[in-house]
């Protein structure tokens, strides 16, 4: 054994620093299935509390849908529990390829490759297709998994100001000499809930001979008229070279992700993407559930339509009540509080009112931009949203922030 007290003290000290910084994360145990109404144990050992979930990625309310559950049961019976192998040895079933084809058809791309998660898709894709002769130019607010993927890649990297098309153009000019230029963005930004300007970005990419990658994890299944994603919303289906997305959010919410796009790029991923080569892929039971999700989405747009209505109701309700809400047209609705401690206190008070919504602050969001991030679901009924809004207003009144400008809130609680 070499875990000496000296080593132990190093970790204890680091953990203490995390606690002192107020960013120590604790899990809340949910004793029910994922839904709008959940039973929560928090803190550990406390009695169960029924709360309304306002912070899950269960955008379409499919995480516990009976048809998805039945399909998963059936998949478990017919195809077993695990594969005990990576894809290219003996870990590929017919249903893995079937799902890849379904995703390709749904997203309007040329081909698709599955990954254990979208985190893995983003970790693998850049290294598989770029070398040191190339440049990755990413929006400054892209998801952490993209940042990790770029770190693993030998290509050069640069960034542009969030959603700033002029700045992106400057960067494309600056790096005009590179072999491949890859512009990288989220489709919907997870912390702010705004959409990347994909139409303008595609135009620029065509002008400067660059490729574009979009992580549509917070869009697939519900953004766009038929829920294809941000590329459908901006009418650029077929023009996005690479889409990465997840099955861990709207598309059933279990796990798994993929890279979908140009045929040769997908082939390169199959040869070189390390999370694909060195890890089991998605289990048959989850594949079966996700296939059913695509059946549901292909038969009706009812769920994404309801989600759109719910999100609009919620956004208007908060704005009318006097909260500062980040502008956007996605189901991610951030309520801006600016001060980190206020965001934590606000979240605790909401929980006491039966509303589960988490406060986010630096380093997850920029300094002085603390917020409660609310996420709306098609699983919410109006009575859920009414109760949540009543609680938000009650807590907002307690802290005296309703109708205040950013400057006034900061004056009252600090930056």
Catalytic residues: 190, 218, 249
CA 32 – CA 40 distance, rounded (Å): 8
Across 97-217, the runs of DSSP E, i.e. the strands, are 111-115, 135-139, 156-160, 181-186, 211-215
- The smaller minimum CB distance to other proteins, of residues 193 and 248, is found at 193
Tell me if the bond preceding 119 is cis, omega within 30° of 0.
Answer: no
* DSSP secondary structure code for residue 250 in this structure: S
Q: How far is the CB of 169 from other proteins (least distance, A)?
A: 14
Q: How far is the CB of 397 from other proteins (least distance, A)?
A: 26
CA 231 – CA 239 distance, rounded (Å): 8
- The smaller minimum CB distance to other proteins, of residues 66 and 363, is found at 363
Q: How far is the CB of 219 from other proteins (least distance, A)?
A: 23
CA 346 – CA 334 distance, rounded (Å): 13
CA 282 – CA 217 distance, rounded (Å): 17
- The smaller minimum CB distance to other proteins, of residues 21 and 382, is found at 21
Q: Residue numbers of the site for other proteins (CB under 8 A)?
A: 138, 140, 147, 150, 156-159, 161-162, 171, 174, 362-363, 366-368
Q: How far is the CB of 206 from other proteins (least distance, A)?
A: 23
- The smaller minimum CB distance to other proteins, of residues 137 and 254, is found at 137
Query: What is the DSSP track for 311-349?
Result: HHHHHHHHHHHT--B---SSSEEEEEEESHHHHHHHHHH
Residue 111 backbone phi and psi in degrees, to 5: -165, 165
CA 110 – CA 260 distance, rounded (Å): 7
Question: Do the Cβ atoms of 118 and 145 come closer than 8 Å?
Answer: yes
Strand pairing report for 211-215 and 37-41: unpaired
3-state secondary structure of 211: strand
CA distances, 267 to each of 68, 262, 263, 386 (Å): 30, 9, 6, 49
Q: How far is the CB of 10 from other proteins (least distance, A)?
A: 21
- The smaller minimum CB distance to other proteins, of residues 161 and 274, is found at 161
CA 113 – CA 308 distance, rounded (Å): 29
Of the CA atoms within 13 Å of residue 4, those in its CB half-sphere come to: 3
Question: Do the Cβ atoms of 113 and 259 come closer than 8 Å?
Answer: yes
Q: How far is the CB of 156 from other proteins (least distance, A)?
A: 7
- The smaller minimum CB distance to other proteins, of residues 256 and 359, is found at 359
């Amino acid at each position: 054994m070499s875990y000496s007290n000296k080593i132990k003290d190093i970790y204890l000290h680091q953990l203490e620093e995390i606690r002192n910084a107020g960013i120590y994360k604790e899990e809340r145990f949910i004793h029910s299935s994922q839904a709008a109404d959940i039973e929560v144990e928090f803190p550990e050992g406390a009695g169960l509390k029924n709360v309304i979930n306002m912070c899950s990625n269960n955008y379409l309310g499919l995480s516990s849908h009976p048809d998805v559950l039945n399909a998963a049961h059936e998949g478990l019976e017919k195809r077993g529990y695990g594969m005990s192998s990576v894809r290219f040895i003996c870990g590929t079933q017919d249903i893995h390829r079937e799902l890849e084809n379904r995703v390709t058809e749904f997203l309007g791309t040329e081909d698709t490759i599955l990954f254990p998660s979208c985190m893995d898709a983003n970790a693998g894709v850049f290294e598989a297709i770029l070398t040191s002769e190339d440049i990755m130019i990413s929006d400054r607010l892209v998801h952490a998994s993209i940042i990790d993927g770029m770190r693993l890649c030998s290509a050069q990297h640069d960034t542009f100001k969030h959603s700033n098309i002029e700045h992106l153009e400057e960067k494309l000019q600056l790096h005009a000499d590179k072999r491949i230029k890859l512009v990288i963005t989220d489709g919907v930004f997870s912390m702010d809930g705004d959409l990347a300007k994909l139409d303008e970005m595609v135009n620029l990419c065509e002008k400067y001979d660059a490729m574009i990658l979009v992580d549509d994890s917070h869009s697939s299944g519900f953004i766009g008229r038929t829920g294809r994603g941000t590329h459908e919303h901006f009418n650029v289906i077929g023009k996005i070279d690479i889409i990465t997305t997840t099955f861990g959010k709207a598309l059933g919410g279990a796990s798994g992700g993929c890279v979908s796009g140009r045929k040769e790029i997908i082939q390169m991923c199959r040869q070189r993407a390390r999370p694909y080569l060195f890890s089991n892929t998605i289990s048959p039971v989850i594949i079966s559930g996700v296939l059913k999700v695509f059946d549901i989405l292909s038969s009706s747009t009812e769920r994404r339509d309801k989600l759109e209505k719910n999100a609009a109701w919620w956004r208007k309700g908060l704005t009318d009540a006097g909260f500062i809400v980040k502008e956007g047209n996605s189901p991610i609705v951030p309520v801006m509080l600016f001060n980190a401690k206020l965001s934590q206190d606000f979240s605790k008070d909401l929980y006491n009112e039966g509303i589960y919504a988490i406060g986010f602050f630096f380093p997850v969001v920029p300094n002085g931009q603390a917020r409660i991030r609310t996420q709306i679901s098609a699983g919410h009924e109006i009575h859920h949203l009414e109760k949540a809004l009543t609680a938000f207003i009650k807590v907002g009144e307690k802290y005296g922030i309703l109708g205040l400008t950013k400057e006034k809130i900061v004056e009252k609680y600090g930056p």
